[in-house]
Amino acid sequence: MSAASVKGWCPGAIRPMPSGDGLVVRVRPFGGRLDAAQAAGLADLAERHGNGLIDVTSRANLQIRGVSDTSHRLLLDGLAQLTLLDPDVGTESRRNILVTPFWRDGDETQALAAELEEALADSMLELPMKFGFAIDDGKSRVLAGNSADVRIERDAAGGLLVRAEGARLGRSVARGEAVATALAVARWFVASGVKNRRGRMATHLASGAKLPEALRGETEPAPIMAAARPGLYPQGAMVGVAFGQLSHATLHQLSGCGHALRMTPWRMVLSEGKRTMPSAPGLITEPYDPALRVIACSGAPRCREAHADTRALAAALAHNIGAAAQLHVSGCVKGCAHSGTAAITLVATAQGFDLVRSGSTRDEPVLRGLDRDDIISDPSVLMGGN
């Protein structure tokens, strides 16, 4: 059985995912960071062995698209040379870690990430496919809105804590205990009867599971920071990635001048140490650019499953979406670009677009078979003006 045909797993580099435009090869940067040589090398690999397009995912990973079975082997060799390849599928799958991009030289974030990566590699834990960790150890939390099952955070006084998702309070830990405690929480999750490959911590706790006394905490985590936006930060320049997809040429430009890239789960990338906003096709540099409010999958003609050109429609509608709302345009019901809910979701079908309000591609549409040109000429239908 080919790797690509295995079901019930999360795609990675070693075991890619088939898509309409070929294999999708997911690369998980260690510590959530690519040095400049790795970023430039990835751009080269995407051009040589893929179709030149690179997704920036909601797990802060990159995906090289349009890879064939033949070029996959060559791509893996290239990733190994860039030290971006895990030794095996199990290690790669467990290394599902979000890292705050706002760490500073000399703080503990990168060391915690490296320790957790190593501990997970050694653990042989069989975790559910989406089970993940977050290292969100700044003065305020920036990853609270992003999916994770075990979090390493700080309290208001700066002490470290480990918190299971779904628990309001975390367990205070010394620096040397943080990774071991995070792993102990994951072990407890596995041992407490979660056999389901889709199991998640918050659901487990909500269903009545109780953390053991040794892992339960009474410490309030630090406050949550307002959502990050494109702009200049002490750590560098944060840019948005239109539709979560870069061309190899834009990734090359971003990695130019020797700047490392810190990945985020917000379809934004931080160019480390950069003091001016980068400019390249497909980058969003304005903090309130309407393009930040729209999500669209590859769509036609890039994906064979697609019933419509999703990105053209999303771009045409972006200016009509309220500042606090989000529009998701999906080429089919699979919802590859966004599995969660959005204020407005348009799903392309063979009969036109289905409209879902405050839901996902899998929810019941309020209207079916809408015509693309009608939506563009009267976007009030999206907001309930029908």
| Chain positions contacting ligand SF4, by CB under 6 A | 20, 297-299, 303, 305-306, 330-332, 334-336
Task: Name the minimum Å distance from CB 332 to ligand SF4.
Answer: 3
Residues 6 or more apart whose CB falls under 8 angstroms from that of 261 comprise 29, 33, 34, 36, 39, 254, 255, 269, 270, 271, 272
Q: What are the tokens at 110?
A: 């990168």
Name the residue nearer to ligand SF4 (CB basis): 20 or 352.
20
Please tell me the distance from the alpha carbon of residue 36 to that of residue 311, in angstroms, as a whole number.
29
Pairing outcome for strands 294-296 and 327-330? parallel
Please tell me the distance from the alpha carbon of residue 252 to that of residue 48, in angstroms, as a whole number.
13
* Cβ-contact 65, 57 below 8 angstroms: no
Name the residue nearer to ligand SF4 (CB basis): 23 or 303.
303
Pairing outcome for strands 327-330 and 342-349? parallel
Task: Name the minimum Å distance from CB 198 to ligand SF4.
Answer: 19
Task: Name the minimum Å distance from CB 22 to ligand SF4.
Answer: 12
Provide the phi-psi class of 152: left if phi over 0, else alpha when psi is between -120 and 50, else beta: beta
Task: Name the minimum Å distance from CB 59 to ligand SF4.
Answer: 16
Please tell me the distance from the alpha carbon of residue 44 to that of residue 48, in angstroms, as a whole number.
6
Place of tokens 């979406």: 321
Closest chain position to ligand SF4 (CB): 331
Name the residue nearer to ligand SF4 (CB basis): 182 or 337.
337
Residue closest to 325 by CA, chosen among 347, 367, 292:
292
Collapsed DSSP state (helix, strand, coil) of residue 225: coil
Name the residue nearer to ligand SF4 (CB basis): 41 or 299.
299
* Cβ-contact 172, 155 below 8 angstroms: yes
Task: Name the minimum Å distance from CB 18 to ligand SF4.
Answer: 10
Task: Name the minimum Å distance from CB 14 to ligand SF4.
Answer: 22
Name the residue nearer to ligand SF4 (CB basis): 217 or 335.
335
Name the residue nearer to ligand SF4 (CB basis): 186 or 306.
306
Name the residue nearer to ligand SF4 (CB basis): 24 or 60.
24
Task: Name the minimum Å distance from CB 194 to ligand SF4.
Answer: 28
